[in-house]
Amino acid sequence: MPTQSNFLGIILKQSEMKPLPANSNDTFENFQNESGIIGRSPAIRQIFETIAQVAPSDIAVLIIGESGTGKELVARAIHKKSRRADKPLIVVNCGAIPEGIIESELFGHEKGAFTGAIGMRKGFFEMGDTGTVFLDEIGEMPLNAQVKILRVLEGNEFSRVGGAEPKHTDVRIIAATNRELDQEIQNGTFRQDLYFRLHAVTIQIPPLRARKDDIPLLVNSFARKFCLQNHINFDGFDDSAFSVMMEYHWPGNVRELKNTIESIIILEKGQRIDQQVMLKHLTFLRPEMRNLPIPVNRPAEKIEREFIYHALLDLKTEISQLRELIFTRLFPPRRLRSWEPDETLIIPHENGEIIYDEPQPDPRSIATLEEMEKKLIEDTLNRFDGNKRKAAKSLKISERTLYRKIKEYNLPF
């Protein structure tokens, strides 16, 4: 799998781009204010430079990064700095649109194109004409739609579903993914030609754990904005709390950091945050961090309570893991069917005789498959605080399927 493409002769990788002049600090500050992208790490500075270089052109950009790293923020910054800034920016979450309607959502449809198409409808590419279309989670795009996106990228042309006539659109495409697209190509779920076309300019956003020098700036910025908006007096963070934040691995990246800061300020009623309070609020604490030393000048009762709290947290995680393990062992998917009343068990008797045993209710019929599925989905969503991407990943289903199931079971997420 080549790492570079020469599609249309465009190769523009971040590392190959000209750095901005040394006195660009002022511009960098402006960029942070305008875009809301906070950070001072070399990675964020590099992203700033790339945005400044690619924004004025119409070149397609692929943004790669784990969930919560700021892909949408970067896409918005490119749009804002482009000549299309006062034109529409259409954000499409490809993973959330049911597969059956994705083409009509993207390209529109003609009247009568399918049952229910009572009138003509414009799609995102037509609505976004002269502006930008941001295709978030492009890895979730079905193959058929991928061909059509390639056609837009190469010739600015598309057809509405049920329409023969080609239409012209002038859109700039920005795409984002948190998946390994080259792996998807090998699996046959992502087109190589589309990948090459998008891959010409890539912006890779490293996970927060790989650019920890951004943490203090982000924390202060989130805390300041949140307190201003909500009229809260906040006593701030101890150095020891910052040490914990620098140590933690932030699996949910900047989104998790922002949510943690905001909830800690509310739940701790604006009081000063020290190491212990900080530890209490981190969701996916690794065992080695739970054993951080506890300051000795704290009341024994408080320390004890916190120990119990952490022990309970551990127990809760273990129980849910156990429950899941038992569930999958007892009910492997291929055996999930309910007991049929006319089923009989044929058991050879010791003397060779065959006896027909009374059918016993199968323990697996204690609940319907739907009930079990609903429960599993609900539990998983709860476990990930309603984060659908993580829940879908854990359930090993696509985000789109998860959205469909949530709707189907009327789950409150």
Ligand X SMILES: Nc1ncnc2c1ncn2[C@@H]1O[C@H](COP(=O)(O)OP(=O)(O)OP(=O)(O)O)[C@@H](O)[C@H]1O
Interaction mask 52-71, Mg ion, x per CB under 5 A: -------------------x
Dist CA 337 CA 351 (whole Å): 33
Q: How far is the CB of 164 from ligand X (least distance, A)?
A: 36
Q: Is 179 in the site for Mg ion (CB under 5 A)?
A: no
Among 12, 59, 73, 303, binds ligand X (CB under 6 A): 73
Give the nearest residue (CB) to ligand X. Answer: 70
The rounded radius of gyration (Å) of the Cα atoms in the chain is 27
Q: Is 193 in the site for Mg ion (CB under 5 A)?
A: no
Pick between residue 39 and residue 128 the one whose CB is nearest to ligand X: 39
Return the residues of window 205-224 that contact ligand X according to CB under 6 A. Answer: 218
Pick between residue 50 and residue 169 the one whose CB is nearest to ligand X: 50
- Binding partner of residue 38 among Mg ion, ligand X, none, CB under 5 to 8 Å per kind? ligand X
Scanning 17-25, 72-80, 165-173, 190-198 for contacts with Mg ion by CB under 5 A, the matching segment is 72-80
How many positions of this chain bind Mg ion (CB under 5 A)?
Answer: 3
Pick between residue 65 and residue 123 the one whose CB is nearest to ligand X: 65
Scanning 65-73, 143-151, 272-280, 318-326 for contacts with ligand X by CB under 6 A, the matching segment is 65-73
Pick between residue 69 and residue 260 the one whose CB is nearest to ligand X: 69
Pick between residue 38 and residue 52 the one whose CB is nearest to ligand X: 38
Return the residues of window 363-402 that contact ligand X according to CB under 6 A. Answer: 389
CA-based nearest residue to 198, from 168, 140, 155, 153: 153
Dist CA 152 CA 58 (whole Å): 13
How many residues comprise the chain? 413
Q: Is 389 in the site for Mg ion (CB under 5 A)?
A: no
C-alpha distances (whole Å) from 246 to each of 8, 39, 330 are 43, 14, 41
Dist CA 92 CA 183 (whole Å): 23
Q: Is 274 in the site for Mg ion (CB under 5 A)?
A: no
Q: Is 72 in the site for Mg ion (CB under 5 A)?
A: yes
Dist CA 223 CA 282 (whole Å): 16
Give the nearest residue (CB) to Mg ion. Answer: 72
Dist CA 103 CA 142 (whole Å): 9
10 Å CB burial of residue 300 (0-12, 13-18, 19+) is exposed
Return the residues of window 3-42 that contact ligand X according to CB under 6 A. Answer: 36-39
Interaction mask 279-318, ligand X, x per CB under 6 A: ----------------------------------------
Interaction mask 93-132, Mg ion, x per CB under 5 A: ----------------------------------------
Q: Is 259 in the site for ligand X (CB under 6 A)?
A: no
C-alpha distances (whole Å) from 47 to each of 38, 41, 67, 73, 277 are 11, 10, 17, 12, 34
Question: 167 forms bridges with which residues in the sheet?
Answer: 158
- Binding partner of residue 192 among ligand X, Mg ion, none, CB under 5 to 8 Å per kind? none
Scanning 71-79, 153-161, 223-231, 284-292 for contacts with ligand X by CB under 6 A, the matching segment is 71-79
What residues make contact with ligand X under the rule CB under 6 A?
A: 36-39, 65, 67-73, 178, 218, 254-255, 258, 389
